[in-house]
Structure 1
Amino acid sequence: MTFRNFTTQEYLEHPMFRKWVLEQDETAAAFWNEWLLNNPDRKDDVVKAKEILLLICTPTHTATAKDEEETWAKVLQSMDRPATRIVEMPKSRRRWMPYAAVFIGLIIAVFAAYIFYPKADVHHQTAMGELRTVELPDHSVVKLNVNSKIHYKDNWDQANPREVWIEGEAFFSVTHKSNNQTFVVHTKDVDIQVVGTEFNVNTRRIKTQVVLANGVVRLTLNKKSNQPAITMKAGDMVVYSAATTELVNKKVDPEVYSTWQQKVLSFNETPIAEVIRSLQDNMGITIQLEDSSFSGQTFTGSIPMDNIDVFFKTLSRSFEVHIDKTGTNTYKISNN
């Protein structure tokens, strides 16, 4: 499939397009600017997709230094209370007053910090080609796939749910707590609530894919959806997009969706178009299909995440196609 035949959603999902719009990547910008010069009739469609992507990926607000200064000003103002009456104290007590004042001041400062300053966020992020294992405050384990990130509060208590926010892909092994404390993973599309289980989450391409390896989880879809909460059991896969309201729920082999932890991508009768999307997400490459009818062919096999040649050799041998390397990380597949 060529870029000229792309739908709006396909533009939104394409890694090179997202790098241009969201990351202002110079290589991506040069590519799309040249492409628009050669395809002026598609400019309106590209601009529309660009505006939609910016709208749905608007970053959240973070507190500035000015916000912190204003908060402290409020704390100090609340502590500034004029005395109404002076009482003469015995000399034996006077010598303890400086120490008492310091002690009370420390208590007030700690209390103010606790009330006015929320717990700090901990952030973890991986680059293309990098995998990382993260241990959470409750000893649950998160394995981050390439080009992914999570964040959470630096200290969890037993009174509130354990919460993690994710972008990209990760595999969660959640520790069960004796008080049945819930664990919630947040994406832009769903909230995943569990007690103790293992599951894979992929939030790429404006949708969230959840594959449950074992245990039970409860999915609450984005507020825009009228769908009721979904209870998942081992082997279930749910895919939902708040942007398109598309919902898929089916049985799968969970192991196929988590082999990236061993730096291998596995596929079982998967359409070539879907295989190519996965390779682009996990390897940071761009593959263009000259013949869109080829995208419906299926592929079964495993591909090392550090050796794209394995995939290309298999395609050439099985489907009699020709692969050209058109740039540093760009390829074209065409019929022989």
Structure 2
Amino acid sequence: MKAPVNKDFLFTHFEGRTTPMQRQILREWLFEASHQEIYYEYLQEWEQLHPQLITNPEQAYARFQSQINRCVSQSLPKKQPNRFLTVKFIAACLTAVILSLTGLWTLQETIFYKTESTNYGETKSLELPDGSQVILNANTQLTYPRFGFGKTDRQVMLKGEAEFDVRHTENQLRFVVNMERDVRIVVLGTKFVVNARPRGTQVILSRGKVQLNYAYRQTRQSITMTPGEQVRLSANTPPQRSIAVNRSSVTNWKEHLYEFNKTPLPEVVNLLEDNFGLKVQLSPEMTTKTITGQFHANTGDELLKALSELYNVQIQKSGNSVVLKPAIYAAE
């Protein structure tokens, strides 16, 4: 008599304590689609109780792909080499590979989600599976599903700053950008820039229409933006809605250009931290200063040098820590 496949059975397997015969029973049980749903529900529950760490998720995913390819090549019917694999066969093969990797909690995220990221001072252009174009600014991370993106769902997670040029789909599938602090942007086809940093979120719409959803005073609220609009969100304050004065300058960072128009120096300090990882401290006299001009800089040091030469600023730098003072202090 075969052992029943229930929660206790699955948890025993997730812990790596099933016998070869039990694993064979499980493979046969998983041919049923409804059983696969049960399996992943219990897998998710077990993972939440037993989180584990994968130090190099991309290498782990490469190993996962290799095992899939090996499983398929070794399991093709010998008498019918040109026969297409059935959906059930592929599902069983994938399941067998996943079963061999069960217990690696963060690996499941790596298998089903891909993360693109940039270092300080780096930008990156990429195309999502649905054809949408994204340009990441420095110190930015974008995560999206590896499978089914653009067919049943288009959801991404953004930390940092990026420009999105979203492709319109025939099935009117919405595109959702999720951010921290429960902020999200919902679109169909449009072009916009998002800056989602720890201090707050800024959205500038170039064309089309987007819906910006956010939490304020423990309630969900939304704003429908039109082209040329700019919205700033920060914790515990109402949204600031305005017209973007110069929309083209918003994405100058793609060309490593930085344009300021009477910009308070503390805001420039935030940019140096977000894009280049510099921890900048201002002397009291510098906190009220503003900057106007356009600068080309590939590194934080280049931008600091331009500021010091044009605005008579003294720079004291040690590693990533920087102190800015008026140059008159240099003789002291």
**RMSD across aligned C-alpha pairs, in angstroms?**
3.6
CA contact (8 A) 1:131 1:144 kept: yes
8 Å CA contact 1:75–1:112 kept in 2: the answer is no
Q: Give the corresponding residue for 2:28.
A: 79
* 311, 321, 325: which one aligns with 1:330: 321
SS at match of 1:142: strand
Q: Determine helix, strand or coil for the equivalent of 1:302.
A: strand
Do the aligned partners of 1:263 and 1:304 also contact (CA within 8 Å) in 2?
yes
How many residues end up aligned between the 2 structures? 247
CA–CA distance in structure 1, aligned partners of residues 191 and 86 of structure 2: 47
For structure 1, the residue ranges without an aligned partner over 5 or more in a row are: 1-65, 82-97, 317-321
**TM-score normalized by the length of structure 1:** 0.63
Farther off after superposition, 297-306 or 218-227: 218-227
- Please give the residue correspondences for 1:57-72 in structure 2 after superposition, counting only pairs within 5 Å: none
Identity %: 29
**Offset, 1:268:** 1.7
**Pairwise CA distance, 1:329:** 3.3
DSSP-derived class of the 2:287 partner: helix
**Distance (whole Å) between structure 1 residues aligned to residue 259 and residue 249 of structure 2:** 6
Q: Which residue of 2 aligns with 1:299?
A: 291
CA contact (8 A) 1:138 1:156 kept: no
Moved over 4 A (4+): 66-71, 73-76, 102-105, 110-119
Offset at residue 179 of structure 1 (A) = 2.2
Q: Report the secondary structure of 2:258's partner residue.
A: strand
Unpaired segments ≥5 residues, structure 2? 1-12, 31-78, 100-107
Pick one of 242, 250, 260 that aligns with 1:267: 260
8 Å CA contact 1:213, 1:255 repeated in 2: no
Q: Are residues 154 and 312 of structure 1, via their aligned partners in 2, closer, same or farther at CA, if it must alter by over 3 Å? A: same
Alpha-carbon offset, residue 295 of structure 1: 2.2
Aligned runs of 1:1-336 on 2, under 5 Å?
76-77=25-26, 79=28, 106=89, 109=92, 120-156=112-148, 160-189=152-181, 190-222=183-215, 225-226=218-219, 228-241=221-234, 243-252=235-244, 253-291=246-284, 293-306=285-298, 307-308=302-303, 309-316=305-312, 322-335=313-326, 336=328
Report the alpha carbon displacement of residue 227 of structure 1 after superposing the two structures with TM. Answer: 5.2
Q: Which has the higher contact order (CA 8 A, sep 6+)?
A: 1
Q: Deviations over 1:176-197 (max 9, x none)?
A: 1122211111101311111111
Task: Look up the SS of the partner of 2:169 in the other structure.
Answer: coil
C-alpha displacement of 1:76: 4.3
Residues 139 and 188 of structure 1: CA distance in aligned 2, closer, same or farther (over 3 Å): same
Distance 2:283 2:215 in 1: 36
SS in 1 for 2:120: coil
Contact kept? 2:316, 2:324, Cα under 8 Å: no
Per-residue deviation, 1:261: 0.5
Corresponding residue SS for 2:115 = strand
Question: Conserved in 1, the CA contact under 8 Å of 2:114 and 2:146?
Answer: yes
